[in-house]
Amino acid sequence: MNSLIGTYECKVDAKGRLMLPAAIKKQLLPVLQNGFVLKRAVFQPCLELYPMTEWEILMQKVNKLNRFKKKNNDFIRRFTAGLKEVEIDSAGRLLIPKDLVAFSGITKDIVVSSAINIIEIWDKDKYEKAIDDATGDFADLAEEVMGQDDDDGLS
């Protein structure tokens, strides 16, 4: 699957249903029929929506962990806590289970944001706070993560 692109403001209805933005749905068309996994994010109070093919790739890595090491077992339990298999209905809606709504603090206004090969689903206020909190450090972070030395042999 190619990288997903876009950040969109949306609304969740009283039943926890999210109408996926048309641009995201269009990008997901090749994998729509396979379903998705919705889970708690590890580092942020948001949800992550994995196309099933991406989830299976990730699970191949997790399945290599030795379950007889306590830290691996603890990681797997926490990583998969609240995990749900979900589908997009014929109207293009995704039902967010109540326990995941509670974890992420999702209210009516949300942000759906691409994160390379998955989609993050945020409460709008929490998303804006996370972006604002990271603004000051982003230049340093970008340099550290992406600013590797050029290896063109000219030095």
Q: Does residue 125 belong to any structural domain of this protein?
A: yes
CATH assignment at residue 33: 3.40.1550.20
Q: How many domains does the chain have?
A: 1
Is residue 29 scored above 50 in pLDDT? yes
Range of the domain at 15: 7-145
Tens digit of each residue's pLDDT (9 = 90 or more) over 47-74: 999 999 999 999 999 999 999 999 999 9
pTM above 0.75, yes or no: yes
E strands, 12-78, where? 17-19, 36-40, 47-51
Q: How far apart are the first and last CA of the chain?
A: 37
Tens digit of each residue's pLDDT (9 = 90 or more) over 75-128: 999 999 999 999 999 888 999 999 999 999 999 999 999 999 999 999 999 999
